[in-house]
Amino acid sequence: MKVIENQAQKVHSMRVIAVNVMEFEVDDGDDSYIVNLEDKNCLCNKWRITRIPRRHALACIVKRKLDFAPYVHEAYYVSSYAKTCAPTFHGMLGHRNMPGRPTKNKRKLEFDEGSDGKKKKKSFVERDFKQNKCGNYGGLDHYKKTCKNPPKSNEASTSTTPVKR
């Protein structure tokens, strides 16, 4: 109704010429449009697209002193809207898993948490204790990198080793 009322205010400045009973030529400023009320069509194509008569068609409807309601598509009626909202839809019975990635229901527990969410007592893994051994001369409790002793020479080690031929 608002669209038609808005468009109807612009009708009075148009010149409408009847070509036959249901076909008209409408002069809107410098432009001319052909309107066919029987086919519900106007040369501007706005009526065909929106299915609501626009100002050119409304000018013809006013000239013929017709009611505009039959020229509006039935989808715009309140009764049609009520029909689309009338049926009720019932949900499907039973549980249905939806496709896609599952939702995260629970957070992952930490390694030191129990199933009740409380912290467990820390338990250490028992291993055999292995002392650090120096790669330089074989001393214990330090590495080659931190060794304060002078490095072994390679000549002494090669002279004592027998050579296989």
Mean pLDDT of residues grouped by 10 in the chain (165 residues)? 78 84 86 87 85 84 84 83 77 74 73 66 67 81 82 57 54
User: What is the per-residue pLDDT for 115?
Assistant: 66
Q: What pLDDT score was predicted for residue 6?
A: 77
pLDDT at 120: 63
* E strands present in the chain: 15-18, 23-28, 31-36, 41-42
CA angle 41, 52, 9 (to 5 degrees): 105
CA within 13 Å, CB half, 98: 5
pTM score, whole prediction = 0.47
Residue 117: what pLDDT? 59
- pLDDT for residue 77: 81
Please give the pLDDT value at position 118. 66
Whether residue 33 contacts residue 43, with contact meaning beta carbons closer than 8 Å, is answered with yes
| DSSP single-letter state for residue 148 | -
